[in-house]
Amino acid sequence: MNGTPPATNRPICVIGNANLDLVTGSIDDWPEWGTEVFLEKSDFRIGGSAANTALVLQRLNHPSGLVSATGSDAAGAMITHQFAGPLDRIAARPEPTSISVGVLRKGGERSFLSTNGHLDNLDAAFFADALKRWPLVNALTLVSGGFALPGLEADHTEFLEMLLSRGASIAIDPGWPGHGWTEAAIADARAWIGCADHILLNDKEILGLTGEGTVHAACRALAPIMRANAALVVKRGPEGAACYRHRNFITEHARARRDRHGGRRRRLQRGLSERRCRRGLRACSVEARH
């Protein structure tokens, strides 16, 4: 035992991107240029991988905070209003707030078109200053959307090392590099993985990063650069998720749910997600004590 607080008390510091999302769909394929397509649904909401995670933690009533920024506009005010807790650190920047437009494809896949906006200039110095009074000792820090933060890329590895030096455990969810898996992007991702206790990737990201043909092979390819007790979690969309740790590879398959009442189905899915998240929080606490 090293004094790490239990999962019910251990704070989670979510560091990274916050923006607004416009999600719409669904389509079978991209329309031709110069044409118009009418879609069945749309949703305007707070987005960014870091902000989305922080919203889930709010719903779970888990001690947590989002460390990020917004632009100085109406979109930024919407984000700031949502993150006003004692552990939230949201700064207003002079640039416009980043916007992402998500287009859903029938069958479950989606693509995003994003502007960097205020995210362009969020660098290691900005985040380090925002974290000065954050209680990082024994906290779990999730650095999310690393590839959506071009200002942080140059000093990203040093920033992770700083978090470790302040007594935090590190999780990373870097996302997809805007210019694809170039040699530079691969080198960056491998360096970040080498600092992390928990690595979160989706199936397309890990296959692009490693060049392997299967998720299992990709996990094995990353094992030599992972920390000794690190866990690698691969999100596989409708197929569920996989976890690789200590050379053990396990999968969790998504379960199909059929219900004629959409609202009830969403509530059931949300409840299941919350239960799974709580189990994940307990697992993080157990791992930290070993």
Residue type, 79: I
Whole-angstrom Cα distance, residue 286 to residue 227?
Answer: 17
Residue at 220 is within a domain:
no
Q: Where are the beta strands (DSSP E) in the chain?
A: 12-16, 19-27, 41-47, 64-71, 89-93, 99-105, 110-114, 140-144, 169-173, 198-202, 231-235, 241-245, 248-252
Tokens at residue 117, please? Answer: 């906006």
Residue at 228 is within a domain:
no
Residue 270: per-residue pLDDT: 43
Residue at 233 is within a domain:
no
CATH of the domain at 281: 3.40.1190.20
Residue 30: per-residue pLDDT: 87
Residue 4: per-residue pLDDT: 54
pLDDT beneath 50, residues of the chain: 1-2, 259-274, 277, 281, 283-290
Contacts of 276 (CB under 8 A, 6+ apart): none
Q: Tell me if the pTM is above 0.75.
A: yes
Whole-angstrom Cα distance, residue 118 to residue 106?
Answer: 32
Residue at 156 is within a domain:
yes
Q: Per the structure, how many domains does the chain have?
A: 1
Please work out, in degrees rounded to the nearest 5, the angle formed at the alpha carbon of residue 254 by the alpha carbons of 251 and 256.
155
Residue at 111 is within a domain:
no
Range of the domain at 160: 12-18+48-96+118-196+255-288
Residue at 277 is within a domain:
yes
Residue at 234 is within a domain:
no
Residue 166: per-residue pLDDT: 96
Whole-angstrom Cα distance, residue 69 to residue 80?
Answer: 8
Residue 262: per-residue pLDDT: 44
Residue at 212 is within a domain:
no
